[in-house]
Structure 1
Amino acid sequence: MPLPEFNLYPDFNTVRLSHAYLNVSDLAASKAFYCDTLGLQITDESETHVYLRAMEERGHHCLVLQKSDAPGTVDAVGFKTYDEADLDRAEAWFQAQGRPTQWVIRPYQGRTLLTSDNLGIPLEFYHKMDRLPSIHQKYALYNGVKPLRIDHFNCFSPDVDASVAFYNSMGFRVTEYTEDEDSKRLWAAWMHRKGGVHDMAFTNGTGPRLHHVAFWVPTPLNIIDLLDLMATTGYVDNIERGPGRHGISNAFFLYVLDPDGHRIEIYCSDYQTVDPDLEPIKWDLTDPQRQTLWGAPAPKSWFEHGTRFTDAETRDSDIAASPIIAP
């Protein structure tokens, strides 16, 4: 199935991904993982919530940990719009697609629109978030893997073609994709707004579910330091995949699991995609360098484990094709 033609003038303008709400069982354990080990900074906390940002970010939060009776689930993923009027245009657009919309109150954010995509992934859009003083040159605060900013979301989709068509209508552009040669259907796709390889990606599988949240770090050596830290502080079993370099995106990566099973990717060294006429790169599903440039396949868990979105019903994919999976 051919990729849709880029929609360069969408009905509303999304700047970038912004934040996610992760439900956790033990705030103290999660705070130890995300702050002491990964190195995110606390911007506010209570008995039920911890708000976090990375070192280059001026917005109040990129990740919200929520104490919940349903840990290992995700309430929503968030995006920033170009201006305030885009929120009203977004409301009209989602209503025209038959999607539910409501205005919700979120701490530290201005007007916030809660809706969902064609699969039921809960999405929220805002324009204004409280700004905090810059800390990117306060080097005494850097620890863990030294995360600089949130980079992307990856979600399982039972119909990647439908997901790509929906987000393409919102102005997201495909940078790279994997096609099943037999059915000519998309197996995975990487889509962006901010000029990197992706803000949102889709991987074939039971969904909708969150596959991972990714954070950008300065260098591959930071990832090596994190591995040494996790291996000697009780987190060796939380290391799932990597380190390695993706064929897709060319990024250096590591995948780890938090105490409730949310997958986090630590990520650096991908490339710019600013040109609006940049042609997407196609990969064959059976190419071993697609997953890892060095040829190492991903473990089975990487294709099966994900975290559910609150109240979103999942369904299985009907694509029979499979990538190469590690034994």
Structure 2
Amino acid sequence: MLDTTWIQPPFDIVRAAHAELIVTDLQRAKEFYVHLLGLVVSEERQNVIYLRGYEERLHHSLALRQGPVAMLDHLAFRVASPEHLVLLARFYEQQGCPVRWVQNEEEGMEQALRVQDPCGFIVEFFYFMQPVESLLRRYDLYRGSHIQRIDHFNLHVPDVQSAFDYYKQLGFRCSEYTVTSSPDKQLWAAWLYRKPTIHDVALTNGTGPRLHHLGFWVSEAQDILHTCDRFAAAGQNMAIERGPGRHGVSNAFFLYLRDPDDFRIELYTCDYFTGDPDFEPMRWTVDDPRRGTFWGHIAPVSWFEESSLVKGLDGKPAQLQLASLKERPMTVI
């Protein structure tokens, strides 16, 4: 039986806040994220573009930076106050993790804490980011997929149980989880949250550390259907990897796209509220055909096997470890 008891640490992580991707062709990436998906450009420099959704009030939720190898640079979470950065630094130092304070390394940000976490990802924590105008009600400016905000990170990790235990220490709660078939029933995937929705982070069994996908929230299912039509009309139908469909896990309506560097992007809507103090997580088995796609559709092999590299402390792709569990479902999360 999985222990999902909530642990409340002395620091308060608010939500998944932004990610930075290293892309090999910034102009091709801009065509995908700005002209097709319709993300808003907050700021553009020679080698980096900062983007956000229409609802967002902070400078950026996605940064695209030119580089020689496509990989995740870092993930970032916002905390509730500047003092909590100090508490997090102390926590990671006690864990024996590399810790570094950064200043003005991203446009719109001042001080932040960067660590390499026990799962092998470079993770940033911050409190302040330059505020910008929310365009939520500027319907006259809406373009592309009408993306409102960043929602979650999905990570391929070789040992989901140890990653789950680590995120529990950070104060994350579990909304849903998947176990392998009897008799062992080991943890295969978990959805963990800080904001009161299904997840800020999903942990999936697989070779890692790798980034499986970034999830972005749209207001309604029609935005996802419109995206499919838009990509097809632009001759970019091959970018559609999976969906549209409805997940069993999370109940969300979804679409998965692949960008020019094969980063996987999910458009996501219609999940549910998890903010009640007595909320109990839902358990699935890996062989339940409704889990990955509620309608029973089988996902492509690429969805299981392919994920994006992540940057290590030396600036090169982090060394990978094989997944500890070999079982693979017929459908996916």
- Asked if the contact 1:27–1:49 (Cα under 8 Å) also holds between the matched residues in 2, the reply is yes
1:76: which partner in 2?
Answer: 74
Q: Following TM superposition, by how much is the alpha carbon of 1:142 offset from its aligned partner in structure 2, in angstroms?
A: 0.5
Q: Following TM superposition, by how much is the alpha carbon of 1:183 offset from its aligned partner in structure 2, in angstroms?
A: 2.5
Secondary structure, in 3 states, of the residue corresponding to 1:264?
strand
1:285: which partner in 2?
Answer: 286
1:111: which partner in 2?
Answer: 111
Give a deviation string over 1:152-210, Cα, whole Å, max 9, x none. 00000110001110001000001000001333211000000001100000110001100
Q: For residue 314 of structure 1, what is the amino acid of its counterpart?
A: L
Cα separation, 2, equivalents of 1:109 and 1:188 = 33
Q: Where does the alignment leave 5 or more consecutive residues of structure 1 unmatched?
A: none
1:63: which partner in 2?
Answer: 62
Q: Following TM superposition, by how much is the alpha carbon of 1:11 offset from its aligned partner in structure 2, in angstroms?
A: 2.6
- After TM superposition, the score normalised by the length of structure 1 is 0.97
Secondary structure, in 3 states, of the residue corresponding to 1:103?
strand
Are 1:102 and 2:103 matched, yes or no? no
1:324: which partner in 2?
Answer: 330
1:301: which partner in 2?
Answer: 302
- Asked if the contact 2:256–2:266 (Cα under 8 Å) also holds between the matched residues in 1, the reply is yes
- Asked if the contact 2:160–2:203 (Cα under 8 Å) also holds between the matched residues in 1, the reply is yes
1:20: which partner in 2?
Answer: 19
2:128: which partner in 1?
Answer: 128
Secondary structure, in 3 states, of the residue corresponding to 1:31?
helix
- Asked if the contact 1:41–1:54 (Cα under 8 Å) also holds between the matched residues in 2, the reply is yes
Cα separation, 2, equivalents of 1:50 and 1:318 = 37
Q: Following TM superposition, by how much is the alpha carbon of 1:235 offset from its aligned partner in structure 2, in angstroms?
A: 1.1
1:162: which partner in 2?
Answer: 162
- Asked if the contact 1:57–1:148 (Cα under 8 Å) also holds between the matched residues in 2, the reply is yes
CA-based RMSD of the aligned residues comes to 1.1
- Asked if the contact 2:210–2:308 (Cα under 8 Å) also holds between the matched residues in 1, the reply is yes
1:92: which partner in 2?
Answer: 90
Aligned residues: 324
Q: Following TM superposition, by how much is the alpha carbon of 1:247 offset from its aligned partner in structure 2, in angstroms?
A: 0.2
Give a deviation string over 1:197-234, Cα, whole Å, max 9, x none. 00000110001100000111011111111001101112
Give a deviation string over 1:253-277, Cα, whole Å, max 9, x none. 0000001100000000000100132
Cα separation, 1, equivalents of 2:225 and 2:29 = 22
Cα separation, 1, equivalents of 2:319 and 2:10 = 28
Q: Following TM superposition, by how much is the alpha carbon of 1:140 offset from its aligned partner in structure 2, in angstroms?
A: 1.6
- Asked if the contact 2:4–2:173 (Cα under 8 Å) also holds between the matched residues in 1, the reply is no
Q: Following TM superposition, by how much is the alpha carbon of 1:325 offset from its aligned partner in structure 2, in angstroms?
A: 4.8
Secondary structure, in 3 states, of the residue corresponding to 2:84?
helix
1:255: which partner in 2?
Answer: 256
1:271: which partner in 2?
Answer: 272
Q: Following TM superposition, by how much is the alpha carbon of 1:4 offset from its aligned partner in structure 2, in angstroms?
A: 4.2
Cα separation, 2, equivalents of 1:200 and 1:261 = 20
2:171: which partner in 1?
Answer: 171
Give a deviation string over 1:225-248, Cα, whole Å, max 9, x none. 100110111211111000000000
Q: For residue 280 of structure 1, what is the amino acid of its counterpart?
A: P
Secondary structure, in 3 states, of the residue corresponding to 2:250?
helix
Q: Following TM superposition, by how much is the alpha carbon of 1:2 offset from its aligned partner in structure 2, in angstroms?
A: 2.1
Q: For residue 152 of structure 1, what is the amino acid of its counterpart?
A: H
- Asked if the contact 1:219–1:268 (Cα under 8 Å) also holds between the matched residues in 2, the reply is yes
Q: For residue 297 of structure 1, what is the amino acid of its counterpart?
A: I
More displaced stretch, 55-64 vs 20-29: 20-29
Secondary structure, in 3 states, of the residue corresponding to 1:307?
coil
Secondary structure, in 3 states, of the residue corresponding to 1:290?
helix
Q: Percent identity?
A: 42
Q: Where does the alignment leave 5 or more consecutive residues of structure 2 unmatched?
A: 313-317
